[in-house]
Structure 1
Amino acid sequence: MDGRIKDKTGLVMPVGSIIPFAGQTVPEGWLLCNGAVVRSDIYPDLFAVLGTHWGSGNGQGTFNLPDLRGHFLRGRDAGKGKDPDAASRTNLSGDVVGDKVGSYQNYEFRRHTHGATATTSFPRVAGGAGDNSGIPFDNSYACGCETNSTNITTSVSLSEEGGEESRPINAYVDYIIKY
C-alpha cells in the first residue's frame, strides 16, 4: 500500500476537486489554484468540468485555474439566502455574474454601531444668589431666580481599532485542484 486512500474504482477525488494542501510540492495529478492560464487540450477533463467559470485565459483554447491565493472558500448560496449579496458576486474581470461557482466577493465589515458617552461638567458659580447647582447664572439678578441658557458644544472622537481586514484566526495552505 502506498499510503493513498482509494475507493472501489481506484479514484478518490473527481476531476475539479479542490483541497487544502500543506506540502511544499504539488503532487502528480494536481495543479496549484493560482489563476494560471492553461491549455484545454492538455487538461481536457479539467476544462470539461471548469469551462471558463474561473476565466477564459487568452480566449484561444485556454482557460484559467481558480485563483484562491489569499481567499477563504465559501459554499455557493444556491437560493438558500445565507449570502445577502449573492446576486452582486463578480468574476475575475469584475463583471457581475451572480450566484455562480467561480465568482468572488470583496471583503466587507458587517454593519455595526459604536456607542459613545460624553460628560460635561460646569464649574460652580462663585458668589451671588442661586441654588449653587453648578449651572452658570447671571449674578446681576438680586434674587438669583433666573439663569441664562448656555449653549454647550461637546465633541466626541472614537479611536481607530483593528487591522486592515476582518478575518478569523487562520493558517496558510495552498489550494490544489485535481486534473
Structure 2
Amino acid sequence: MDEVMAVVVCFAGNYAPRGWALCNGQILAISTNQALFSLLGTTYGGDGRSTFALPDLRGRTAVSTGQSPFRNYALGQKLGTESVTLDISHIPAHRHDGDITVQLPANSGPGIDPTVNGGFPGDFTGAYATTANSTMQAPDYKNVTMTTVGSAIPVITRAPYLVINHIICLQGIFPTRN
C-alpha cells in the first residue's frame, strides 16, 4: 500500500477497504499488529500487554492536539457532550429594566381612603390630581417580581453534521520522524 500506517481518513463507503479498519474503537491484538501498536500504543484503549484499541470516532468530531484559547487537547482525550441542561448558574448576572405607567382615577374633592369600599383617591397631600375625572401619579415603586420560566430540558450543543465513516490505515508505509 502507498498509504502511511495510522492515517485516518473519511470514507463514504459503508465498509472498510482491505488494509483499513473503521475508527470504531475496535480492540486489536498487539501480536498481529506490532507496527501499528508502536504508533498508537494505548492512546485509545487496550491493556498494552496483549491488546490496543483503534480510535473511536463514532458520534465524535476529530480535533487536533494542542492548546486552544479554552483548554489543552491531548492525543486520545475524549471531551464534550451532545447536550447540556442549563440552570440559573449558567446565566450571567443581568437585569431587566422597564418602565411602568399607572393611572388612577381621582376626584377633585376631599380624598377618601382608597382601601375602604373601593374609593378613589382625591385631592390630598401627595396626590397629583386637582380636577375631577383626571388621573394622578401613583407612588414610585421600583420593585417588580419576575418569575423564571423554563423546563430544564437539555439543549443540543452539536453543530450541524453529516455522518460519514472514518477509517484508519492498518498496513502501509511506516512513518519516519523528521
Q: Given the two structures, how large is their TM-score scaled by the length of structure 1?
A: 0.64
What pairs up with 1:1-179 in 2 under 5 angstroms?
11=2, 13-55=3-45, 57-77=46-66, 81-86=67-72, 99-107=73-81, 117=96, 119=98, 121-128=100-107, 139=122, 141-142=124-125, 144=127, 148-150=139-141, 152-155=143-146, 157=148, 164-179=155-170
Q: Per the alignment, do residues 120 and 43 of structure 1 end up closer, same or farther by CA in structure 2, a change over 3 Å counting?
A: same
Q: Per the alignment, do residues 139 and 118 of structure 1 end up closer, same or farther by CA in structure 2, a change over 3 Å counting?
A: same
Q: CA deviation at 1:149?
A: 4.8
2:59 partner letter? G
Could you say which residue in structure 1 is the equivalent of 2:176? none
Q: CA deviation at 1:37?
A: 1.2
Q: CA deviation at 1:85?
A: 1.8
Identity of aligned residues (%): 22
> Could you report, residue by residue, the CA deviation over 1:68-126 in whole angstroms, capped at 9, with x for unpaired residues?
1000011111xxx425221xxxxxxxxxxxx42111212388x8869875645343111
Q: Which runs of 5+ in 2 are unaligned?
A: 85-89, 109-119, 129-136, 171-178
**Number of equivalenced pairs:** 144
Q: Per the alignment, do residues 152 and 113 of structure 1 end up closer, same or farther by CA in structure 2, a change over 3 Å counting?
A: closer
2:18 partner letter? E
Which structure would you say has the larger Rg?
A: 2
Q: Given the two structures, how large is their TM-score scaled by the length of structure 2?
A: 0.64
Higher strand proportion (structure 1 or 2) = 2
Q: Secondary structure of 1:41's match?
A: helix
Q: CA RMSD in A?
A: 3.5
Could you tell me whether the CA contact under 8 Å between 2:12 and 2:165 is conserved in 1? yes
